[in-house]
Amino acid sequence: MTQIHEKTRRVWLWVVVAIVSSALTSKLARGQVTSTWDGNILLGNWTDGTRWSTAPVYPNNGQPLPGDTYNAVITAGNVELDQDIAIQAFTHSGVNSSPNTNTLRDLSLVDHTLTVNGAYNWTGGDLYGAVTVDAMNGITISGNDLKRMRVESVAGIARIPMVKNHATATWTGIGVNSTVVSIGPNIFYPLFSNLSGATFDARSDGFFNVQFNNQGTFTRTTGTGTVRFQAPFNNDGTVTVSSGGLELNTGGTSNGSFVVNAGRTIYFFGTHNLTASSSVTGDGTVRFSNPSGQGTAGYPVIAGTYNVAATNLDGRLQFDSASGTTGTLLINNLLGGTPTQGSGTLNVTGLTTYQFGNFTGNFTLNAQSGVNFAINTNPRWNGSSKLNLAGGTSTWTGVFSILEFAENAQLNVLAGATFTVDNAIGSRVIKTFSTGGAFSNAGTLQKTGAGTLSIEIPATNTGLVNAQGGAVNFVAGLTQSNTNSEIRLSGGNVGGSLVLNAGSLTGSGNLTGSVASSGTISPGLSAGTLNFQSGLTLNSGGAVAVQLGGLTPGTQYDQLNVTGGATLGGTLAVTLINGFQPALADSFTVMTFDSGTGTFGGYTGLAVGGHLTLKPRYSATDLALRARPTVDGDINLDGIVDISDVQNVAANWLTAGPAGDADDSGFVDISDIQTIAAHWLQTDGGGSGVAVVPEPSTLVLAGMAALGALVWRPRAARRVLRRP
């Protein structure tokens, strides 16, 4: 019985101990506690409990008992993070009126981390040295007090502050400044990491001068101005600009995506490496430039697939960071790689050297200030993609000589732009790699050098094609349809089938393909020769304009030489140049051909003054214009057919030559009297202006007058001359 009572006593003793222990524990555990640093500017360690309002306990979750959690507040003073600390919430605020008066720092050679499990509110003060703040439940960055992250060099080692965001960070108010350290060739920036699964919402219109590493989601949902990141910005997640602008001033690397919404702008300044897995999409504006002079030196590096949709690309671009070459855009330069594609427009506003790659989709690239085609690979455009040379002067250099356009892809030289292909030897080829493709010129296509440009896709011209050297061959044909368009041979030749529905063909040189013209063909730029080596068809709505400045074809007057058949039609327009005045019986062979059909339906400019008219003479192989009296029979060129012309015949009776030759037969005989009689008293406007049809009696009188003149002549002068 005594033993039973002893056991009962012991049980009750343990119960009492448990109850007392529980009471003591409840009394000591304080739950969530706010602890504030004392604000003394003298540096103190976080673990110095005398500096905290919870003295002698410093804030660290789980002390002195597991149930304790802390909200740490630093409004002033300097705190050295001397060990890893975990707290519930952290507020860093106040004004840092001079260096090192409101800091959380770690200048030891051992990195320490402050883990914040709840809210992190940062409204002022510095993070200094190798301190890391691990924000597990997001961050609020706000207020108008300056916030700063400072890198420090300790024993030649960069001590770098870092903030890690695991949840949602919201930035309003002014920005975060930084102090960087240069050690050798390297610059060390403070770091802000937006981790995978986290969101950073940049609502401020300020600056963020801290290296930003985005692995999660970066958004800009409010703000009308432009937020500036003036340290490297690296993106392996998603960046979306839905409001205002985002300016990345100091380069960075992207394996992720950028989305720029309509009316918004993103600026890539400095050296940006957009890798093959990166993309820039949206309906906004993307600028690769530094027009305001902000940011640092350097140029974007774009490699691999670059997806764009309704974006603008502006400025200074570079092939790669090591080449030292400026002004080059490299987009997916390896043939056979995934094509760059999009549904919008990429505008490049600056003379740019391009290394093109593989493009598809409904993608349009507008080169607004010219392109240097310094290509070393085989660029391909297909789908409905377009390369528009939209302004300035574009040139084609480099070792690779092929541009390929297939399906509905187009190469367009727009109005106001010039595309110069200058190759001394060999050929440049614009072709298709399967089927389709098209070339159009509304500006100036200029060929220089002795080499050849072959355009093997259908071509249209509404601007100027200027062959200054070598040859331009339109292998798939060219159609010209604009009134002001022109094909000009000024030292070079043009090949391929040409259909001129309008416009002009001018200059001197060879046309090696067939030509059908409803436009205007005008040889020479003053006087010159066009050689049509595969036939010529002149349609009824077209014209041939020739200039006469002397008697030598090709140098003093225009000539068209046709190998093969010539079909004539339309209008022949004649103009005198260089003060030239044709004389009676001057002849100008303006066209030669192997065979000809038809004649011109109309003529202009045949009246050349001096009572002379150019009269067309067709033969089986040429067309000549011969200077003759405006009125047949007006041998003395006084504007009227009268007795003086009869006397002229009499004076040159039975002689060869133009004098007295009224019918242009080359010999003066009775037929000339008949010609005069047929046009008796007719004028060309210099006399009565009205052609008078002579009566039979007048014809008799004229014949008698002529015979009388012959009888009156001395016997020796009346020797009978026979035709040779």
Q: Which helix (H) or strand (E) holds 603?
A: strand 602-604
pLDDT of residue 706: 47
| Identity of the residue numbered 412 | N
Residue 354 pLDDT grade (very low, low, confident, very high; cuts 50, 70, 90): low
What secondary structure letter does DSSP report for 640?
B
| Identity of the residue numbered 465 | V
**C-beta of residue 40 within 8 angstroms of C-beta of residue 77:** yes
pLDDT of residue 686: 58
* SS3 assignment, position 227: strand
- Residue 66 pLDDT greater than 80, yes or no: yes
- Residue 207 pLDDT greater than 60, yes or no: yes
| Nearest partner of 166 among 191, 190, 199, 212, judged by Cα | 199
Q: Which helix (H) or strand (E) holds 439?
A: strand 436-441
**C-beta of residue 149 within 8 angstroms of C-beta of residue 124:** no
- Residue 597 pLDDT greater than 80, yes or no: yes
> Per the structure block, which two tokens stand in for 571?
């209008």
**Rounded distance between C-alpha atoms, residue 437 and residue 189, angstroms:** 50
pLDDT of residue 542: 96
**Rounded distance between C-alpha atoms, residue 549 and residue 526, angstroms:** 9
The answer to whether the peptide bond before residue 56 is cis (omega within 30 degrees of 0) is: yes
- Residue 365 pLDDT greater than 70, yes or no: yes
Residue with tokens 């690309």: 313
Residue 398, Cα to own-chain centre: how many angstroms?
Answer: 18
Residue 545, Cα to own-chain centre: how many angstroms?
Answer: 37
* SS3 assignment, position 370: coil
**Could you tell me which residues come within 8 angstroms of residue 715 by beta carbon, excluding any fewer than 6 positions away?**
none
**Rounded distance between C-alpha atoms, residue 499 and residue 520, angstroms:** 12
**C-beta of residue 398 within 8 angstroms of C-beta of residue 426:** no
Q: How far is CA 448 from each of CA 375, 441, 452, 590, rounded to the nearest angstrom?
A: 18, 17, 9, 29
**C-beta of residue 476 within 8 angstroms of C-beta of residue 459:** yes
| Nearest partner of 119 among 97, 99, 142, judged by Cα | 142
Report pLDDT digits (tens) over 4-38. 456 555 545 444 444 434 443 334 446 899 999 99
Share of residues in the chain with pLDDT > 70 (%): 79
Report pLDDT digits (tens) over 439-496. 999 999 999 999 999 999 999 999 999 999 999 999 999 999 999 999 999 999 999 9
**Rounded distance between C-alpha atoms, residue 523 and residue 540, angstroms:** 19
3-state class percentages of the chain: helix first, strand second, coil last, to nearest 5: 10, 45, 45
pLDDT of residue 355: 61
**Domain residue limits, the chain:** 331-496, 503-630, 643-718
pLDDT of residue 310: 37
Residue 373, Cα to own-chain centre: how many angstroms?
Answer: 11
- What does the mean pLDDT of the chain come to? 83
In 10 A of CB 179, how many CB atoms? 16
Instruction: Give the mean model confidence (pLDDT) for residues 67-83.
Output: 96
- Residue 536 pLDDT greater than 50, yes or no: yes
Dmax (CA) of the chain: 195
**Could you tell me which residues come within 8 angstroms of residue 5 by beta carbon, excluding any fewer than 6 positions away?**
none
What secondary structure letter does DSSP report for 642?
S
Instruction: Give the mean model confidence (pLDDT) for residues 596-624.
Output: 96
pLDDT of residue 288: 64
Q: How far is CA 292 from each of CA 285, 333, 373, 689, rounded to the nearest angstrom?
A: 16, 30, 28, 76
* SS3 assignment, position 461: strand
